[in-house]
Amino acid sequence: MFAHLSLGIKDIKKSLAFYDPVMKALGYDRLFGAEEEEFMAYGPEEPFFIINRPLNEDGPEPTATNGTHICFKAPSKEAVDAFQKIALEKGGTSDGEPGLRPHYNAAYYAAFVFDPDSNKLEAVCYVKT
């Protein structure tokens, strides 16, 4: 159901000093990300927990709280597209139209929305490139 969870952070150096050892204590390694990239991904094999300085495509000014989002696994591009379309029809607002996000992964196809309460949601699938 979930692809990953993300938390918005304000200070990457402080967050690294905190999360690297905390996640290591739980048996999770930093899988990718570096201080200059302003995001880190942790997990056993694939990223499941991400900390980042918020990067909004179409949304409000980035803050730590709007960097928090839930990403749902989608079975196909069509499902990602439907997620976006229905979310907008039901009162959500776009934070990134469906499409490839090569800055994450060449096969990463996702859409981002804010629900009516401004919670950030994402749907993702991986496509053959």
pLDDT of 63 reads: 61
What pLDDT does 55 receive? Answer: 63
Secondary structure (DSSP) of 58-118:
SSSPP-SGGG-EEEEE-SSHHHHHHHHHHHHHTT-EEEEEEEE-TTT-TTEEEEEEE-TT-
2-126 to CATH, choices 3.40.50.150, 3.10.180.10, 3.40.50.1820, 3.30.70.270: 3.10.180.10
The owner of tokens 């495509």 is 57
pLDDT value, residue 50: 85
Q: Which residues of the chain have pLDDT under 70?
A: 55-67
The reported pLDDT for the residue numbered 58 is 57
pLDDT value of position 64:
56
The CA-atom distances, in angstroms, between 65 and each of 15, 51, 120 are: 14, 11, 10
Q: Name the pTM for this structure.
A: 0.70
What does the pLDDT read at residue 10? 75
> Under a CB-based contact definition with an 8 Å cutoff, are residues 28 and 42 in contact?
yes
